[in-house]
Amino acid sequence: MTAALDVKGLNRSFGALHVTRDVDLTLAAGARHALIGPNGAGKTTLVNLITGVLRPSSGEVVLNGEDITSWSQAERARRGLARTFQINQLFRGLTVLENLCMTIGERDGNCNNMWRSAGAKRAVIDEALDHLEALRLVDDALKPVRELPYGRQRLVEIAMALAQRPRVLLLDEPAAGVPSSETHLILDVVAALDPDIAVLIIEHDMDVVFRFAREITVLVQGAVFTQGTPEEIRRNEKVREVYLGQEHGHG
């Protein structure tokens, strides 16, 4: 079976700084994969390489059997690769509903149309509302994104990615910046994701990682330090030293 996402020997340097070193990573369809590592390990850089924000110095990115290494971000997105950003990237001046409709419009190619009114397709609006409903955001539908509390904006961020109907979803610290009283909302959403979507999550909260992931990759200084099931990672002495030791010293 072809993997949903296959990263082979990925390298990226910024001048003399080698931020991604020979990374191999495979996500099967329906994968629940966590990417962990200390700050500066190159996690977000890896996401940017996979989604095409950055070009690798060498290596390949394969999506559903197709080599997409030379593709633009937009082409990758249209083929089912979606992501959320570590820091919200939303259309802040537009309403939540408009944000969602934009995503659906670009996904379906509606946005090539210059003549029909954007509101004329009821099906698009209904689908957007369905996505909002799933995340309990309907009451905020008509508010500009910038007026929402940050935690709710995080939910919009996830709704946007889901509205792309992705086959591979990359979640870059979905709960970052969210008050702890609200993190459960985000985690419930992540837990309830469509089982067919391959998900890669970057997360610092080890409770979340161990609860969510079936596989974990530990990234240290741009290279894959080790990879395994949550149980294996938990027992790995070296991982405890480089990573868990610092952040989970109390646990």
- Where along the sequence are the contacts to another protein (CB under 8 A)? 51, 53, 72-78, 82-83, 85, 89-95, 97-98, 101-103, 105-107, 110-120, 122, 125-126, 129-130, 133, 138-139, 141-142, 160, 164
Let me know: does 100 contact 160? Beta carbons within 8 Å. Answer: yes
3-state helix, strand, coil in the chain (%, to 5): 40, 25, 35
51 vs 141: CA distance, rounded Å: 28
Q: How far is the CB of 54 from another protein (least distance, A)?
A: 12
Q: How far is the CB of 157 from another protein (least distance, A)?
A: 9
Within 10 angstroms of residue 70's Cβ, the number of other Cβ atoms is 10
Beta bridge partners of residue 169, listed in sequence order: 82, 199
Question: Which residues are within 8 A (CB) of 59 and not within 5 positions of it... i.e. 6 or more apart?
Answer: 7, 8, 9, 10, 11, 22, 23, 69
Q: How far is the CB of 200 from another protein (least distance, A)?
A: 15
Q: How far is the CB of 160 from another protein (least distance, A)?
A: 7
